[in-house]
Amino acid sequence: MKYVLAIDQGTTSTRAILFDTNLTPVFTAQEEFQQIFPHSGWVEHKADDLWQTTLRTCRQVIEQAGGSAADIISIGITNQRETTVVWDAKTGEAIYNAIVWQDRRTSDLCRTLTGAGHAEMFQDRTGLLVDPYFSATKLKWVLDNVEGARARAQRGELLFGTVDSFLIWQLTEGRVHATDATNAARTMLYDIRKGRWSQTICDLLEIPMNMLPTVKDSADDFGSTSLLGADLPIRGVAGDQQAATVGQACFEPGMLKSTYGTGCFALLNTGDVPVASKNRLLTTIAYQLDGKPTYALEGSIFVAGAVVQWLRDGLKIIQSAGETQNLAENADPTQSVVMVPAFTGLGAPYWSPDSRGAIFGLTRNSGPAEFAKAALESVGYQTRDLIDAMRADWQQHATGSGGEAVLRVDGGMSASDWTMQFLADITNAPVDRPRVLETTALGVAWLAGMKMGALPDQAEFAKNWALERRFAPEMQAEERAAKYGRWQQAVQSTLTY
């Protein structure tokens, strides 16, 4: 049997999945790694942890499949986006911990850039808002704060990359320093319309352009690795949310997907038009094939699955994520507890990095069940915020497009029937859950296998997308309006706290 190896390097764990040529996941290995919080709002990973967990999980799935890497057709890499690594161009050793996408240490710098009148330029070129979320200010922080880093970078001794670039460099033993257009589009350094790194932005942030990787298509030649027992080509790369968009076969303009992992990320395909948002969404690249980018509107929620982790690890009121559904089902229906999980600020469409979490509507009888219900509902409310903003932006460009608005969902939380039903209820839209929930890995596996000619083309892949269950809205309009109104009041309170 032949396989495609998908490397899914995420925020809290690394997974390797072997897909057969029917794109069925058959072998999986997963390993968590340390989360580092040096100061309030700072989040880091050891770069070597990202690499070593990748290497180990790949070797584990090959062992599960019988130990022969020669059965692997191609490798695809999908990754946590915006996370920033700077490493020695000769040794591959990181000069500082990877600064994670959630990290907020550059909030002051972002305010300074906005105050100096640069926000419009950044948005026009990159499609992004000036925010600590993206890689550019993280990279500047490393160059400014690690002794000798800027001088070394100017001499060509240091390389920058998002996690995909770092893994490609390690897998190819330093032969390839590359990224794909979807990851480049998340750095706040890449001109998404011209398809190249922005000299203007790099000069403004004092970033030497010789540090930056070569930008390729999402299905392209990223070199090969001989570290897994055979010479294996790397042919697919995409940031995790774009890979999920591909895995959900959202290839037509107007199609929408939402992925529920640590955070929640919704992408709306806008075709070959980069739609400038008037509602504080991001304009980004959904995927790039044959040199042609397909654009998307994106809304990012910083805390989705992480709110359940907080119930488990912070409050210790559950032992596993699966308990939340039963608790929510048994919560007191007369209570209206609202949780705003702004632990690391609020993402789209608010973009308030300094907001912090809050809980409203507590009574003496509020307990674990009400907390669990409020936590799961917060994911639906935040998704509603994103979808409403997307619809407002998209309708201006897609008049008369017609068709029923359907949300395709994936990621760990999408397995919760209760959460997905609430999502359908609060957004007043059908929610479609596919048979294969591992859409992030699926997307990059298809890119890698398709590039090798071993998997179906785009049209056939889309036709094979399979529905597991549709959740239809059941909530009455009055109840929906009342609940969403309380959420909006709660958010406004956190924004003005």
252 in a known ligand binding site: no
CA dist., res. 27 & res. 24, Å (int) = 9
133 in a known ligand binding site: yes
Instruction: Report the SS3 class of residue 178.
Output: strand
Instruction: Report the SS3 class of residue 257.
Output: strand
179 in a known ligand binding site: no
13 in a known ligand binding site: yes
* CB atoms closer than 10 angstroms to residue 215: 19
290 in a known ligand binding site: no
Burial of 195 (0-12, 13-18, 19+ CB in 10 A): middle
Residue type (1 letter), 477: A
240 in a known ligand binding site: yes
* CB atoms closer than 10 angstroms to residue 30: 15
104 in a known ligand binding site: no
Would you give the distance in Å from CA 299 to the centre of its chain?
Answer: 10
12 in a known ligand binding site: yes
81 in a known ligand binding site: yes
435 in a known ligand binding site: no
225, 242, 272, 295, 408 from 288: Cα distances, Å:
23, 10, 10, 9, 21
170 in a known ligand binding site: no
Q: Degrees (nearest 5) of the Cα angle 314, 318, 323? A: 140
For residues 140 and 106, the answer to whether their CB atoms sit within 8 Å is yes
Residues ≥6 apart with Cβ < 8 Å to 449: 4, 19, 21, 23, 73, 74, 76, 235, 236, 455
Residues ≥6 apart with Cβ < 8 Å to 81: 101, 162, 163, 182, 183, 186, 239, 240, 241
CA dist., res. 244 & res. 337, Å (int) = 32
* CB atoms closer than 10 angstroms to residue 488: 13
Beta strand residue intervals within 10-121, DSSP E:
13-20, 25-32, 44-45, 72-79, 85-88, 98-99
15 in a known ligand binding site: yes
357 in a known ligand binding site: no
Which residues does the annotation place in the binding site? 11-13, 15, 81-82, 133, 240-241, 262, 305, 309, 412
Which residues does the annotation place in the binding site for glycerol? 81-82, 133, 240-241
Which residues does the annotation place in the binding site for ADP? 11, 15, 262, 305, 412
Which residues does the annotation place in the binding site for ATP? 11-13, 262, 305, 309, 412
Which residues does the annotation place in the binding site for sn-glycerol 3-phosphate? 11, 81-82, 133, 240
